[in-house]
Amino acid sequence: MVQKLRKAIQGNAPTLLYEKSLWAQGKEIVVGIDEVGKGAWAGPLTVGAAVIPKDKRLYKVRDSKLLKASEREALFDAAINWCITWGVGHATNEECDRYGMSIAQKIAAKRAIEKLSIRPNHALIDGNWDFIGETIGKGNVTKIVKGDTKCLSIATASILAKVTRDRIMKEEDNQYPHYAFSSNKGYPCQNHKNALKTIGPCEIHRKSWAFMDQTPFPRAPKPKRNPMQGSLFQE
């Protein structure tokens, strides 16, 4: 059960303004897209996708960054039952190294869209860079700066992505306890930095990233090639 929200975030509710505008244009299936894990040193890059209904509202949804972990967990379970369809996709740390962050984000988004049970007509994405157009189709994407605070479907996607990735990193903490992944989720913090300097990276680190230059261990090269071939929804 989702408890009453803290007073500090009660007035920060995202709206259906963007979705309603697209529904009015005949775009029946609108998907909100958001990513998490871009700035982490370890673990996957994760993208959430959420198609929300017109006739039912899930209250208390906020940008995942504004919520406590317990609030996100409670909202996750409510959201997956509320969404018409939803999906979460990942690009592994190896793919982040191999292709670079831009292509990895496209890979994760494509995988999230592939998990939807219906084809979206349009995508709403957080930020000012279109990383989904090759999958959804050019002209079918609306970019919204700070969209996770303004747009309900994007905020929902942010919760789906954040909770899913956090759960993965907690599991990885069992295998790699020295890096404190359960608390830092792969992001930089002092314990994480200290472990890297003393024992080096583990299997889920992004070894081509610049943080490796601050350790005694070699930084991996980052060859890039684009694996994104063709459209997701082939006729």
Per-residue pLDDT of 24-71, as tens digits, reads 999 999 999 999 999 999 999 999 999 999 999 888 898 898 899 999
Cα separation, 2 vs 35, in Å, equals: 23
> Is there a single domain that holds both residue 140 and residue 198?
no
Residue 20 inside a domain? The answer is yes
pLDDT exceeds 50 at position 183: yes
Give the span between the Cα atoms of 20 and 3, in whole angstroms.
28
In a domain, 234, yes or no: no
Q: Do residues 94 and 104 lie in contact, with contact meaning Cβ atoms separated by under 8 Å?
A: no
Q: How far is CA 168 from the centre of its chain?
A: 13
Which domain, by its residues, includes 196? 176-214
**Residues 150, 52 share a domain:** yes
pLDDT for 232 equals 45
**63/187: higher pLDDT:** 187
pLDDT at 229: 54
What pLDDT, on the 0 to 100 scale, is given for residue 8? 60
- Which helix H or strand E contains 126, and what residues bound it? strand 122-126
d(CA 226, CA 27): 30
Q: What is the rounded average pLDDT for all residues in the chain?
A: 91
The verdict on 69 and 25 lying in the same domain is: yes
Q: Is the pLDDT of residue 216 over 60?
A: yes
Both 87 and 160 in one domain: the answer is: yes
Q: What is the CATH number of the domain that holds 17?
A: 3.30.420.10
Same domain, 153 and 72: yes
Domain for residue 221, yes or no? Answer: no
Is 185 found in the same domain as 161? Answer: no
Residue 59 falls in which region: left (phi positive, over 0), alpha (psi -120 to 50) or beta? beta
> Residue 122 CB: number of other CB atoms within 10 A?
21
Q: Is residue 3 part of a domain?
A: no
In a domain, 101, yes or no: yes
Which pLDDT belongs to residue 75?
Answer: 93
Q: Are 22 and 54 in a shared domain?
A: yes
Domain shared by 70 and 145, yes or no: yes
For residues 40 and 145, state if they share a domain: yes
Listed in sequence order, the residues at least 6 apart from 199 whose beta carbon sits closer than 8 Å to its beta carbon are 178
The answer to whether residues 131 and 166 belong to one domain is yes
Same domain (yes/no): 49, 88: yes
Give which of 10, 51, 34, 14 is closest to 150, Cα–Cα.
14
Q: What is the distance between the alpha carbons of residues 123 and 127, in angstroms, rounded to a whole number? A: 12
Q: How many domains does the chain have?
A: 2
Could you report the per-residue pLDDT of 169-181, keeping only the tens digit for each?
A: 999 999 999 999 9
Q: Return d(Cα 118, Cα 111) in angstroms, integer.
A: 14
Give pTM, 2 decimals.
0.91
Measured distance CA(228)–CA(109) in Å, rounded:
11
3-state secondary structure of 170: helix
